Amino acid sequence: MPDSNRPYRVIISGGGTGGHIYPAVAIANQIKALHPDAEILFVGAIGRMEMTRVPEAGYKIVGLWISGLQRRLTLDNLSFPLKVISSVRASHKIIKEFKPDAVVGVGGYASGPLLYAATARKIPALIQEQNSYAGITNKLLAKRVNKICVAYPNMEAFFPAEKLVLTGNPVRSDIMDSHLKRSEALEFFNLSADKKTILVIGGSLGARTINQSIAAGLEQITKAGYQLIWQTGRAYYPQAQELEAKYKEGVRIFDFIRRMDLAYAAADVVISRAGALSISELCLAAKPAILVPSPNVAEDHQTKNAMALVQQHAALLVRDQEAQQQLIPAALRLAENEQEQQRLAQNIRKMARPNAAADIVNELLKLIK
């Protein structure tokens, strides 16, 4: 039981991709909304994107020397046991100094050592699993933590049923009212109100197949009279910039889009990977979407995420290996078909869970109390 005279103290740990980081920040924001004096510390992995994204969101973060196991033999794999021991020790030190009332793990490398150390000290712990197929870190932690908040039903295959709470994925609150910002969005991206806009997002790290498909089909998109907002990820951005110079009119290319609320507001059709966060945002923004699941993820979980929508007629699917032939024709067909856009938007809206962050924090506060 925490000292009632001092503010709540919570550690949130995990990261690696936007799919882990943005739910973590949304949870932190919700804690602050309910308890403005709460003290929140993030713990991430040194060198990963959370080390810059979390401070940008206004929170302090400490880094652990930890990385994942590679599928092939590498020097990183040889140092993995040393990294785990080092990170668990560092986690014990962080916990001893910060004295949290509870800890939250959102998946990713850093959440393993931190939650292992916290649960060894009997500190209340909650994990949040974003995907329909559980990540390895969360599966390993399941027996140690008190509660497991999930975004999809039927997660008993991975976790103890008595610990599960179906909450959905927390997303940035500004996306919830993106439908009110269309004129602001078109002005922000310098786009025309008379043309439809296709938004392309390959996830926070980019998506090679989607990028190659869009690059090859850029002339078709602009000739058909559509505008484009395209997040390429850092690696592909220099090549894409050359294309932007060629197609100046109505093509906006970014390595990373910070104002995703305005990107969704401007979009009539969205092409996206099927990461859990992207899907949760699409549900809240209620946008007609074509999902291209990444094949480079554990147990093909993005396809499972996408099929949960496709089976409800809430999104369209183009498989990664077929994208170069099928993605542009599918996008142009959808952009032309307003009836299909409305059907997809109505169905995806039904799958939104706008109270996810509040529900997760409610579970967390129950553990503290």
Q: What is the per-residue pLDDT across 350-368, written as a single tens digit (0 to 9) for each?
A: 999 999 999 999 999 999 9
Per-residue confidence (pLDDT) for residue 22, from 0 to 100? 87
Classify residue 306 as left (phi > 0), alpha (psi -120 to 50) or beta.
alpha
Block residue for tokens 């150390």: 117
Q: What percent of the chain has pLDDT over 90?
A: 67
Q: What fold does the segment set 9-169+355-368 form as a domain?
A: Rossmann fold (3.40.50)
Q: Which helix (H) or strand (E) holds 302?
A: helix 301-310
Examine the pLDDT at 118 and tell me if it is beyond 90: yes
19 is in an annotated binding site: yes
257 is in an annotated binding site: yes
- Identical fold for domains 9-169+355-368 and 174-349, yes or no, is yes
Is pLDDT larger for residue 49 or for residue 339?
Answer: 339
Examine the pLDDT at 172 and tell me if it is beyond 90: no
Residues 367/148, Cβ–Cβ less than 8 Å? no
pLDDT band at 171 (very low <50, low <70, confident <90, very high): confident
Examine the pLDDT at 271 and tell me if it is beyond 60: yes
Examine the pLDDT at 176 and tell me if it is beyond 90: no
Per-residue confidence (pLDDT) for residue 226, from 0 to 100? 96
18 is in an annotated binding site: yes
- Domain 174-349 sits in CATH at 3.40.50.2000
d(CA 327, CA 340): 16
Residues 61/49, Cβ–Cβ less than 8 Å? no
pLDDT tens for 275-284 read 888 999 999 9
pTM: 0.82
Q: Where are the domains of the chain?
A: 9-169+355-368, 174-349
- Longest CA span, the chain: 65
pLDDT tens for 192-224 read 999 999 999 986 666 889 999 999 999 999 999
Is pLDDT larger for residue 137 or for residue 34?
Answer: 34
302 is in an annotated binding site: yes
Per-residue confidence (pLDDT) for residue 84, from 0 to 100? 78
pLDDT tens for 65-107 read 876 655 555 566 656 677 778 888 999 999 999 999 999 999 8
